[in-house]
Amino acid sequence: QRHATSKIRSTADLDRIRTLGFRGEALTSIAAVSKVEIITKTAAEKAGIRMVLEGGKTLEESPVGCSDGTTIIVTDLFYNTPARLKFMKTDGAEGSLIIDFVSKMALAYPDIRFRMISNGTVLFSTRGKGGVHSNILTIYSKQIGDRLIEIDETDGDYRVQAFISPPDTTRPNRRGQVYFVNGRSVSNRILETAVSAAYQERIAQGRCPLIYLFLTVPPDQVDVNIHPNKREVRFDDNDRVSRFVTNALNQGLQTRAGLPSLQIKDPFREKTKVESAQEKPVVIDVSDAQVDIKSILSTIRDEQKVSDREVSDNRVFTIEDEEADYRSTVYDTPADDHRNTLRLDELQPLGSIFATYILAVDEEHFYLIDQHAAHERVFYEKLLSQFQQEEKNTQLLLTPTILETTPAIANSTDLWIDQLLKMGFSIEPFGVKAFRIKGIPSFMELNQAMSFLDGFMGDIETAGPVMDEKKLGKIITSACKSAVKANDALTMEEIRRLLKDLSEAKNPLSCPHGRPTILMLSAQDIERLFKRA
C-alpha cells in the first residue's frame, strides 16, 4: 500500500531525512506494472506470508513456511503498459544499469551483504562485514584498488571519506568516479570540479582520476529533491563543500602519492592475461637481441603520468614501493607501505642521452629525468614565488633590450605590465609600441627571458580584458616553454644545478602541464631483465 512504510512522523523530520526513500512506496509502484511474489517472515513469527500480485491487485495471500527475512521476485516488468515497455533498452543495457546501481549500493553500505547474479552467473559477492576498500577490490579491480590512496578528513559537521587514484593512474573520462552524499549515489558538478581542482597540474589535460568519494553533511544543508530519481543534489554552501573536498584530496595527494617505478615484465616468463590500457603500468618487453632505447623512452613519455605533490621543508620525496600491500578495511589506517625516500639533489648524475633525458643513480635506483619538463617546473615555481613575495630578485642588464610588440598589447599595458614587474622584470614603455627591458628575474638567462616575454605577450593578446589569478597561471604555464628544450645539450654543472633547483620545488614530480619529470628503475628491475633476480 502507498506510504505504508513511511518513516515521516512530523514536519520536522522533513529537514533531517537520512533514508533513501520508502520501501512501501517503491513496492507499490513496481507491483502496479509487473507480476510480484513476496515471501516474508519476522523472527518472532512461526510462519511467514506469501503474496502474489499482478498489476497492483492481490491474487493470493497465504501462510508459508520460510526462513526469516523477505524475498521479492519481480517478473514481466511493464507487461500491462506496452508504451513503457517499448522504451526499454536491450537486456544487456538494462542489466548493466542494474549492476551499476547494485555495485554502488554495495560500496555505500559495506555492512550489508550483496550478491549480484546475472543469467545464473555470480558477478560479485560482498561479505557484509568488510569495508569499502575490500568491496572495491571485489567489485571493480584489485590491480587498481591496491593502489588507491585513502582519505578521511573532517571539518566540523562535514566529513569526507574517499579512495582516490595516484596521479599516474587515470582514465580518459569520469566513468571511474563514484560520488555519494549521505549514503546516496549522486552526480554533482560541485564535487567533480573540486576533484579536478585537487588534481590540477598533477595529471595531463583530458585525463581523469579514479575516485570513490563519500561526503557526509547535515541533512538540512543538502536538498535531494531537485531531480525525479534523486541522482542530483543541491548544497546550501557550494563554496564550503568545494574547498573542503579539494583541501582533503590535496592533503592526501601531498602525503601519500609517490614516484612510480617502471614495472618490468620478465621477457622469459609466459604472458598472463591482457590488462586494459588504462589500468596497466608501463611495460617494457625485451627481446633476446637488443633493447630499443628510443622505443622505450617514447613509451615512457606517452603513457606514464606522475604525481605533482607538496614536499616537506627537508625536501624528502616518498617513493611508493611496488611490492607494498594496501589491503585494508574501510576507513582504517592502511598497512605500512615500506616507503623509500629520494633526495633529488643527492643523486649522482651520469650525463644525458639524446640531449633530452638526464641519467642519474643512487645506491639502489636508476633515474631518467626529462630536462625540459624539469626546467619548466623550476621556471614555473620560481616565477610564481617572485610574483607572491614582496622582495624581487632582479638582475639589471648592462645594456637594456628593446622588445617590440603589437599596438593592441601596447595599448593594454595596465592589464599586464604590473604582472611582469611582480615576477621580477624591470620594464617600461619605449615609444609607441615598444618596451625597454632593463632587468630580468635573477634565475633567467637573457635569451630565456626574451623567449618567455615573447610567449607571454602572445598569450596576453588573446587573454581578454580581465586578468584573474587563474588566467595568469595558465599564461605563465604556457610561457614557461622558454625553459631548456629537448636536444639542448647540458653540461654536468648545468645538470647538477637543475637537479638542485628541482629538489627545491614544491611539486617536483611533474611539469606544470601534468607530464612527468622523473621516472625510476630499481636495481631489482634491472636484475630481473638479466634473469639475475
Exposed, middle or buried by CB within 10 Å (0-12, 13-18, 19+), for 383? buried
Domain with CATH 3.30.565.10 in the chain: 1-88
Q: Are strands 365-370 and 149-155 parallel, antiparallel or unpaired?
A: unpaired
> Which superfamily, per CATH, for 374-482?
MutL, C-terminal domain, regulatory subdomain (3.30.1370.100)
Under CATH, which architecture does the 132-256 domain have?
2-Layer Sandwich (3.30)
Cell of 478: 604556457
Give the pLDDT score at 341.
55
**Would you state the pLDDT for residue 75?**
94
C-alpha gyration radius of the chain: 30
Q: How far apart are CA 471 and CA 465, in angstroms?
A: 11
CATH 3.30.1540.20 intervals, the chain: 293-371+489-529
Model pLDDT, residue 315: 40
Residue 333's pLDDT is what?
Answer: 33
- Res 427: pLDDT: 92
pLDDT value at position 475? 63
Q: What's the pLDDT at 301?
A: 41
460-486 in b/e form (b: 16+ CB < 10 A) is: beebeeebeeeebbebbbebbebbbee
- Going by their DSSP bridges, the two strands 177-181 and 211-216 should be labelled as parallel
Class of domain 293-371+489-529: alpha beta
Residues of the chain with CATH 3.30.230.10: 132-256
CA dist 533 and 73 (Å) reads 56
Give me the residues paired with residue 369 across strands. 358, 518
The low-confidence residues of the chain, meaning pLDDT below 50, are: 264-340, 465-466
Length of the chain: 533
Dihedral of CA atoms 223, 227, 232, 236 in degrees, nearest 10, equals -20
CA gap 516, 514 in Å, rounded? 7
Its CATH architecture, for the domain 1-88, is 2-Layer Sandwich (3.30)
User: Within the chain, which residue ranges are assigned CATH 3.30.1370.100?
Assistant: 374-482
Q: What is the pLDDT of residue 289?
A: 33
DSSP secondary structure of 440-451: EETTS-HHHHHH
Round the average pLDDT of the chain to a whole number and report it. Answer: 78
CA distance 259 to 530: 24
Give the H/E segment covering residue 401.
strand 394-404
Rounded Cα distance, 344 and 362, in Å? 10
